Structure 1
Amino acid sequence: MMKKQSLLLLYTCILFAGCKKEEHTPVNAPGDKPDVIKNVSVTSLPGAARITYTLPDNKDVLYVKALYKIRNNETREIRSSYYNNFLITDGFGDTTEHTITLYAVTRGEAQSDAVTTVVKPLSPPVLLVARTLKIRADFGGVNIAFNNESKADIAIVALSNDSSGIYGTADVHYTNRESDSYSLRGYAAEKRKFGFYIRDRWGNQSDTLTVELTPLYEKLLDKTKFREVKLPGDVDYGWGLPISNIWNNALWHSADKLTGMPMWITFDLGVTAQLSRIGLWQRPNEWIYLQNNVRQFEIWGSTNPASDGSWGSWTKLIEHTVVKPSGLPVGQVNQADKDAAAAGEQMDVPLNAPKVRYIRVKILRTWTDGGYAANIQDMKFWGNDQ
């Protein structure tokens, strides 16, 4: 018994003698300061600059950091992974010189000594886009056209008097399109002042362009004057749902056209008008973006259509493709899709389009590819019939 106790005591002593405290080094310990980046060069860009460099040889360098000032002396920080040999400094709202301070930083957040360079950005997008603004009177408001060659994310801010006579923000239009035009509506045909300036996500903004314009007269055309017109080649209606349902918000449904698309229908607005915009609504509820709802179509106009149904007397006013906001497969919808369907397809008619009285809707595609039928829930027309 005493022998066993002695052996146990011996083993315990050996175990403790062989143990010592193990020191663990933090995984991301600061470590040694890395060397500086070298061979810095600068390429000026609109409102920005591309800075290239050579990384130090230190193996644990994780990224390069740039610190600099933009508007209102605000400090901006840009980081670029060690996989790259460049970074982009952006957010500049002018073309003056700016000092950039650069650091190499390790995984343990140890940073090198600073290296400075100077950048001189080209004219920023807010100034470039502002120079291209073209404002003209439009139906019920004004039309704004612009170019944005760099496809920068910008906002076009519109100013005007509100119903209380207070001059302030009337609309903000966000875009990154290379070029586009849009209309700001809801104004009487009375002379008024409008202002426009360009703003970016960093708060830089252009000077304000101020114009005085008189919006063109616009009204919603009276649907009680609309009449069906049946010309040779027009598709028949089906399921007891005639064309007149289009202006009664009651659903038009075509007959099956076994030869497939395109198919077209014709109707009379009852007045000759300079059209400004057209709204089209698809069959609602569980049918949105599905089956026979129109997906791609054209709208044509005429004042005196040929009785044989030929197209020579017609002018194309609009080409339009319905876009499903969610991008979900056919048969699946989300709330954004439901909201867009309820709002309808809102289409501007070009200002230089001729006056028309007769409308022809040419359907090129539905949500069932290769389908034989189509339907439209409702259509509305705005313009000047005076």
Structure 2
Amino acid sequence: MKSIRIYIFMLGMLMALAGCQTDFVKPLENDSEAPAPVRDVTYVKMPGSVLLTYTLPSDPDLLYVAASYTNKEGKKYEFKASYFTNTLLVEGFGDMDTYSLDVYAVDRSENYSAPVNIQVSADTPPVQAAYETLEVQPDFGGMTFSFANTSRADLTVYVSTPNEDNEMVNTETFYTGLPKATFSVRGYLDISRDFEIYFQDKWGNKSQVKKETLTPIYEAELDKKKFKEVILPGDFPCTFYESKMEYIWDGRAAADGDGQTGAHTGIEEHNGPTWFTFDLGVLAKLSRFNLKFVQDDKHFYNDVSPKVYEVWGCAELDKSGSWDSWIKLLHIENEKPSGLPGSELTEDDRLAAREGDNADFPLDAPRVRYIRIKCIDNWTGNSNMVFTEVTFWGDDKSETNN
């Protein structure tokens, strides 16, 4: 019986607490008298939105101002602004047509004033602006496209291309809020192919569909069996801690202690950058690059793993070691996703570090055969470097390679 009484008592307490919680979320004041409406409503056009300006009613009970409209699909949107301001941003317009907008003053009892109706039209929606600036061109193994997003809207970009049954299907989805963006789609043979691209914003507004027929540029992973070490005057040895240059093209992404880990230029500080040279074995127009770091926490965003480094190339080798004939192809900055200091790592950090750095070579870059990896700064603040594997893709079809 005692346990039953305790149970009933506890149940009663929970119900009382629940009642208190329900009362807490209700308006502190509860009257039925609506506030006076806002006055002098004007607006300024913005991309896909309008910025309202108005005069607030003189009502001590005023809580916020609301504005609502219904789009062409029948969906109603409502936007609110505190009584501390006299402006309200109304978003979500997918075109520049005229819409009927109702503006209300709302008090602490959630009483709405009589509406003030105005007719508004937005400036060019971000999805349309992105579509109008969209540029598409063939690229290695696919295509590259770029566009402007000057309003910094959150945009989703959908790319479609035919599947094996010749049906257009979405194959790539990209997200951006940057003022300018460039994306690449790869993995296709160098034969004519259809592509479709369109934009969508967070309100569900969609742009027109851009249709392009392009022939991807031939691309293949360069054969690492053809890579060879080159030692030029001024180059730095990369044989510290039982390392060898040839280990960075042996197809293994190794951790410390696995043996044949990679190339390592040591720990002694140098005045200026550190670099070494190797031969790709073919003259190639390079498309992509991947560098993998030593695969353990000790080297992820730490130790002498390269943080800021460059990839240089040349077609013919000057055996004096001079940089005169070399062209800078890439400048890469390795970034830690979490931004955490020192050796602290998240799983996202580890995933990104295992994947390594990926970079695209400029389309106008010349054909090269010889490569220099040049480290400007590592994660301990000097210019030494260690990494475990490097991979290049590109067009190695050249008459001089036959």
Q: Quick check: TM above 0.5?
A: yes
Check if 1:203 corresponds to 2:212.
no
1:328 is aligned, of 314, 337, 340, to 340
Say whether the 8 Å CA contact 1:235–1:257 is kept in structure 2: no
Counterpart residue type for residue 243 of structure 1: M
CA distance in 2, matches of 1:197, 1:260: 50
Distance 1:203 1:31 in 2: 37
Compared CA separation, residues 212 and 243, structure 1 to 2 (3 A): same
| 2-structure distance, mates of 1:367, 1:31 | 65
Residue identity matched to 2:246: S
Which amino acid in structure 2 is aligned with residue 42 of structure 1?
Y
State the identity %: 36
Q: Deviations over 1:289-341 (max 9, x none)?
A: 11111111111110113222221101111111111111111211111111111
Candidates 370, 373, 381, aligned match of 2:392? 381
Aligned to 1:290: 302
Matched residue, 1:84:
85
Deviation per residue, 1:78-107 (Å, 9 max, x gap): 011111111111111110011111111112
Partner of 1:52 in structure 2? 53
CA distance in 1, matches of 2:341, 2:168: 45
Equivalences for 1:1-386 in 2 at 5 Å? 27-30=28-31, 32-237=33-238, 238-248=240-250, 249=252, 250-286=261-297, 287-369=299-381, 371=382, 373-386=384-397
* Aligned AA (1:252): A
With 303-312 and 79-88 compared, the bigger mean Cα shift is at 303-312
Secondary structure, counterpart of 1:239 in structure 2: helix
SS of 1:342's equivalent in the other structure is: helix
1:240 positional shift: 1.7
SS at match of 1:72: coil
Contact 2:27 2:108 in 1 (8 A): no
**Alpha-carbon separation, structure 1, partners of 2:245 and 2:67:** 64
Secondary structure (helix, strand or coil) at the match of 1:285 reads coil
Pairwise CA RMSD of aligned residues?
1.5
3-state SS in 2 of match to 1:164:
coil
Q: Give 1:198 shift.
A: 1.3
Name the CA distance, whole Å, in 1 between partners of 2:112 and 2:343: 54
- Could you tell me how far 1:192 is from its partner in structure 2? 1.0
Distance 1:344 1:291 in 2: 15
Distance 2:358 2:143 in 1: 16
SS at match of 1:117: strand
Q: Aligned equivalents of 2:163 and 2:128: distance in 1?
A: 27
In structure 2, distance between residues paired with 1:52 and 1:280: 53
Deviation per residue, 1:165-200 (Å, 9 max, x gap):
321211111111111222100111111111111111
Residue by residue, what CA displacement relative to the aligned partner does 1:204-233 show, whole Å, maximum 9, x if unpaired? 111111111111111000111111111122
Report the counterpart of residue 3 of structure 2 in structure 1.
Answer: none
Q: Which residue of 2 aligns with 1:10?
A: none
Q: 1:239 to 1:260 in 2, by over 3 A?
A: farther
Instruction: For 2:318 and 2:202, locate their aligned partners in 1 and report how far apart those are by CA, in whole Å.
Output: 53
TM-score with structure 2 length normalisation?
Answer: 0.87
- 1:17 corresponds in structure 2 to none
After the TM superposition, which of the residue ranges 101-110 and 356-365 deviates more from structure 2? 101-110
Question: Which letter maps to 1:241?
Answer: S
Runs of 4+ in structure 1 over 3 Å off = none
Gap regions ≥5 residues in structure 2: 1-25, 253-260, 398-402
TM-score (structure 1 length as normaliser): 0.90
Q: List runs of 5+ in structure 1 lacking aligned partners.
A: 1-24
Q: Distance in 2 between matches of 1:202 and 1:94?
A: 12
Give how far 1:28 is off: 2.7
**CA deviation digits over 1:354-381, x for unaligned, max 9?**
0000011111111112x35311111100
Alignment check: 8 A CA contact 2:279 2:370 kept: yes
| Cα distance, 1:27 vs structure 2 | 2.5
In structure 2, do the counterparts of structure 1 residues 343 and 26 end up closer, same or farther at CA, with 3 Å as the change threshold?
Answer: closer
- Is the Cα contact below 8 Å between 1:156 and 1:197 reproduced in 2? yes
What is the total number of aligned residue pairs between the two structures?
Answer: 361
Aligned 8 A contact 1:67 1:101 in 2: yes
Larger Rg: 1
Query: For residues 257 and 236 of structure 1, what CA distance do their matches in structure 2 show?
Result: 12
Give 1:164 shift. Answer: 3.4
